[in-house]
Amino acid sequence: MNTEEIREDYPILETGVIYLDNTASTLTPLQVTKAVTEYYHSYRANIHRGIYRISQKASEEYDQSRETVASLINARPQEIIFNRNTTEGINQVALALELQKGDKVLTTAIEHHSNLLPWLSQKTKGVKVEYITPDSEGRLNPQDFREKISEKTRLVAVTHISNVLGNINPVEEIGEICREKNILYLIDGAQAVPHIPVDVKKIKCDFYAFSGHKMLAPTGIGALYIKEDQLQKLEPPYKGGGVVSEVTLEDYTLTSYPTSWEAGTPNISGAIGFSEAVDYLRKIGYNRIQEHEKKLTKQLLKGLGEMGNIRVYGAHDARDRACIVTFRLEDMDSNDMAGILDAREQICVRSGSHCAMPLFKNILKEKEGIRASAYIYNTGEEIEKLLTVLRDYS
């Protein structure tokens, strides 16, 4: 993998910015913006409605994008719902399941708010949310799920990779337990699909949500995998144009999925850009991506570990995590440190609670932290610049 060649695809890097906030959103390569621009300049039209040629072209590109995204996670095209992002995908599932009083949702104490709030909001209906607690490094034990699942458990909802800890969670082992006990299984895959190979069939999940903007695609486009047997049972939560085959003043008939789940005009250009981003990552290859990220992760963990006043969260072994490293300097505000990094070296990191307040409050016993997250265009020299600034405050 030639990082220098890859960096040429990102004009923003020519400004000298060191972008280490990839967990929040990645940069977008020229190939993706070109594909989006081509849609707007050459065949800008709505989809699945017009019989004229540019509408047909737009429909074909949109449908092909679904096939491309589906193949990335070993899903069927009809099992992929395009939406805005991971958050919307999880909320779509929460609404469609129509949980009842007495039902239980089992999740973990390390989740992003997007995999907590949709379930906590169900408490007004009498739904109970239960939690698995991780060990001291934030690791989840599959056997804890086995012991916690009861006859009232309707759904298990787990993050594939923590957006704070970076830990790669044992989702396949948890999936085996869910299948054994006939429990629905949802994965927040926002931080996984950009970094590691994902196979929903191996995971044995019923739902898998992820976002385009975390893997080089435009903002405002995401995907929700719903296993086909669940698509046959669930009612789409949103209704409107494009989802029906027949409407009267008394009733309506939904069209087939996945179209029935995509009410209104979708983000056509976003889907096209999403597909281009998938092709881009595949050309690089996930093996090369993982190898590159592991090298940067080891460098970052080693450097931080040599500083006595820094606490690093998550697994200590780089093989067990993505290049998402959250840490805290003793006696220094995380926002202040993030500002210093930007002012001195144009280093972009995230500071705060990272949409994971319960994790910080209940598990890490901290209010906030600094998160540095690298991706395919980051270099060892950039990691060293980060460490150099931090050493001045250690």
Taking only Cα atoms into account, the Rg of the chain, rounded to an integer number of angstroms, comes to 22
pLDDT value, residue 82: 99
pLDDT value, residue 1: 78
Under CATH, what is the fold of the domain 32-282? Aspartate Aminotransferase; domain 2 (3.40.640)
Domain range annotation of the chain: 32-282, 285-391
CA torsion sign for 216, 291, 167, 89 is positive
pLDDT value, residue 394: 83
Q: What is the DSSP letter of 364?
A: I
Element (H or E) spanning 6, and its range?
helix 3-7
Return the number of other C-beta atoms located less than 10 Å from residue 265's C-beta: 13
pLDDT value, residue 163: 98
Average pLDDT over residues 147-165: 98
- Residue 308, pLDDT > 90, answer no
Tell me if 326 sits within 8 A of 369, measured CB to CB: yes
Which among 178, 205, 323, 355 is annotated as catalytic?
Answer: 355
Q: Which residue has the tokens 């990082």?
A: 3
Q: Which residues contact 273 (CB under 8 A, 6 or more apart)?
A: 28, 32, 33, 35, 36, 212, 217, 218, 221
For 350-374, the pLDDT digits (tens) are 999 999 999 999 999 999 999 999 9
State what percent of residues in the chain have pLDDT above 70: 100
- The average confidence (pLDDT) of the chain is 97
Pairing of strands 207-211, 184-188: parallel
pLDDT value, residue 62: 98
355 is catalytic: yes
For 70-122, the pLDDT digits (tens) are 999 999 999 999 999 999 999 999 999 999 999 999 999 999 999 999 999 99
Average pLDDT over residues 328-353: 97
Helix (H, G, I), strand (E, B) or coil at 19: strand
- Superfamily of segment(s) 285-391: Aspartate Aminotransferase, domain 1 (3.90.1150.10)
Average pLDDT over residues 367-394: 97
